[in-house]
Amino acid sequence: MISRLQDLASRDVLQGRAAATLSRLLAGALDLLFPPNCASCGREGSFLCASCESVLPLLARPNCALCSGPARGQFCASCTAEPPAYDGLRAPYGFYGPARDMVHNLKYRNVRASAPDLGRLMADYLWSEPVPGGVLVPVPLHSRRERSRGFNQSALLAREVGRLTGISVAEDILRRSRNTAPQVSMAGPVERKENIEGAFECIGDVAGLEILLIDDVVTTGSTMSACAEPLKEAGASSVWGLALAR
């Protein structure tokens, strides 16, 4: 019996290696047939060329210690008036130029192969600017929207950040229980907050966990705050947010 199990295990390992090799060969063949192009300048060879990466727009400072938005003092007017549910929110880039082009390439042009580049940028930021986070939790899409899009871009980014940093990823902790209108369609911060309020629920055991929410873009922080609230209520010790751009 032990010998049989060892044989099966060896076969599974070999099959896994074969599958990985086949995946690499297919990816290489696709690159030959359809070479990647830079999302910003169109140059052939990668989804983000070295030239465009070198001019990615760093997030303007000074910024709020909580939401990373523009602030003259320690906190912005919005966070002073109504502190968010999260403990802090960080993003390395402003949402314009190559950063915006990269996000649109992934999110709206369905170029999922560009996720590793975005995830690498986010992981690099975490190495240089560490924030509390023992578990990466992607901001979830409603099941209907995820089926329509075919993927959750935040989950793709979380997996890449987790792979590069060694932080575990949990996609079964937070659920979007209400199918809200896209935040981009909201007129302003008040509408965004009302639209997303109560849209998420915690469905996992998070007691004592330090959670780092992952999303592609943050505008007002309303979505991150709406995610943090049920996680905090369920016992998470801290909830921070990380996005590629703000």
| pLDDT value for 183 | 62
Residue 24 lies in a domain: no
Q: What is the pLDDT of residue 194?
A: 67
Helix (H) or strand (E) holding 214: strand 210-217
Report yes or no on 227 lying in a domain. Answer: yes
Give the Cα separation of 144 and 203 in Å (integer): 18
Considering the domain boundaries, does residue 116 fall inside one?
A: yes
Distances (CA, A) of 194 to 5, 137, 144, 180, 210: 56, 23, 21, 10, 27
Task: Print burial letters for 196-233: b (CB count within 10 Å at least 16), e (below 16).
Answer: beebbbbebebeebbbbbbbbbbbbbbbbbbbbbbbbe
Number of domains in the chain: 1
Pairing of strands 210-217, 135-138: parallel
Asked if residue 187 lies in contact with residue 113, where contact means CB atoms within 8 angstroms, the answer is no
Give the separation between CA 89 and CA 212, rounded to whole angstroms.
9
What is the chain's pLDDT, residue by residue, as a tens digit (246 residues)? 444 434 544 454 445 456 545 545 554 444 445 679 999 999 999 999 999 999 999 998 889 999 999 999 999 999 999 999 999 999 999 999 999 999 999 988 889 999 999 999 999 999 999 999 999 999 999 888 888 888 999 999 999 999 999 999 999 999 998 777 666 655 566 676 766 787 899 999 999 999 999 999 999 899 999 999 999 999 999 999 999 999
- Residue 115 is assigned to a structural domain of this protein: yes
pLDDT, residue 152, reads 94
Q: How many residues does the chain have?
A: 246
On whether residue 32 sits in a domain, the answer given is: no
Q: Note the pLDDT of residue 15.
A: 54
Q: Is residue 209 part of a domain?
A: yes
CATH of the domain at 212: 3.40.50.2020
Q: What is the pLDDT of residue 102?
A: 96
Place of tokens 């990269």: 102
- Which range of residues forms the domain containing residue 208? 57-245
Interstrand relation of 174-176 and 200-202 (parallel, antiparallel or unpaired): antiparallel
191 assigned to some structural domain: yes
Distance, CA of 56 to CA of 215 (rounded, Å): 18
Q: Is residue 204 part of a domain?
A: yes
